[in-house]
């Protein structure tokens, strides 16, 4: 899977409808964004979860949807306007948003739920979502944070129904990919911006990559497909 990080971020303003639609036109097989809830319970897509008001950083959670800048889309906006066949990875910045996210996907594009990837940095939080949805669940972490060891983490993910682990590309090597595959877990890599990093990631067997540069990502993806990967 080739996820366009925050849409085609290198080519258009991030986390906007234009960026998401451009990423799909460039061939991305997946879109990625971050989800927050507004004060009136609307799921919106933004990375930092704050807006600037009179020099202050104001949390989105304290504002109503109607008070946000127009460039910040709602999840339903994106689901309605981004058509086609793609996976969707959402970093659930505020865990209370997960129920709303699942409900809106089921209402607007129910077939997308099986291709929805819900991510968070605390695997215990992620595990608590297993009974809520058939979406793929993702442990977003770094190798240095896995204090119990990677084999124990892989086993824990399998035991708790977490489908995947997502780590920075510098954390991965072929042996680690093989280890998580042995437990039937997906291996995803993020911050993959350069062509050689993308090519190396696909060659070592990563199941999905995240990149700001959709054009480079799709060139590497096409190369791997052409090589029979």
- Its CATH architecture, for the domain 2-226, is Alpha-Beta Barrel (3.20)
Residue 45's nearest CA partner among 26, 20, 23, 22 is 20
- Residue 194 is given by DSSP the state S
Task: List pLDDT tens digits, range 156-172.
Answer: 999 999 999 999 999 99
What pLDDT shows up at residue 52? 86
Ordered by start, the domain boundaries in the chain are 2-226
What pLDDT shows up at residue 229? 54
What pLDDT shows up at residue 53? 82
Across-strand partners of 116? Answer: 88
Distance, CA of 135 to CA of 117 (rounded, Å): 6
Q: Is the pLDDT of residue 213 over 60?
A: yes
Distance, CA of 46 to CA of 227 (rounded, Å): 36
pLDDT confidence tier of residue 228, bands split at 50, 70 and 90: low
177 and 203 Cβ atoms separated by less than 8 Å: no
What pLDDT shows up at residue 224? 82
Residue 21's nearest CA partner among 12, 113, 192 is 12
- Residue 109 is given by DSSP the state -
- What rounded mean pLDDT belongs to the chain? 95
Q: What's the pTM?
A: 0.94
HSE-CB of 88 using CA atoms within 13 angstroms: 28
HSE-CB of 99 using CA atoms within 13 angstroms: 2
């Amino acid at each position: 899977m080739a996820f366009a990080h925050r849409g085609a971020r290198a080519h258009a303003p991030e986390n906007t409808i234009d960026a998401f639609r451009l990423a799909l036109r460039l061939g991305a097989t997946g879109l990625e964004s971050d989800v927050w809830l507004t004060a009136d319970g609307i799921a919106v897509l933004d990375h930092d979860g704050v807006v600037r008001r009179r020099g202050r950083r104001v949390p989105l959670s304290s504002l109503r949807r109607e008070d946000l800048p127009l460039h910040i889309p709602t999840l339903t906006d994106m689901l309605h306007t981004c058509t086609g066949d793609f996976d969707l990875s959402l970093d659930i910045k505020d865990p209370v948003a997960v129920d709303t996210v699942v409900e809106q996907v089921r209402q607007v594009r129910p077939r997308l739920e099986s291709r929805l990837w819900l991510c968070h940095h605390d695997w215990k939080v992620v595990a608590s979502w297993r009974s809520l949805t058939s979406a793929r669940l993702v442990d977003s972490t770094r190798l240095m944070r896995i204090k119990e060891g990677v084999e124990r983490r892989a086993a824990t993910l399998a035991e708790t129904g977490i489908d995947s682990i997502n780590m920075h590309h510098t954390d991965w090597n072929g042996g680690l990919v093989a280890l998580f595959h042995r437990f039937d877990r997906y291996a995803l890599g993020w911050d993959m911006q350069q062509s050689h990093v993308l090519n190396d990631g696909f060659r070592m067997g990563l199941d999905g990559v995240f990149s700001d540069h959709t054009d480079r990502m799709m060139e590497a993806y096409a190369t791997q497909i052409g090589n029979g990967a």
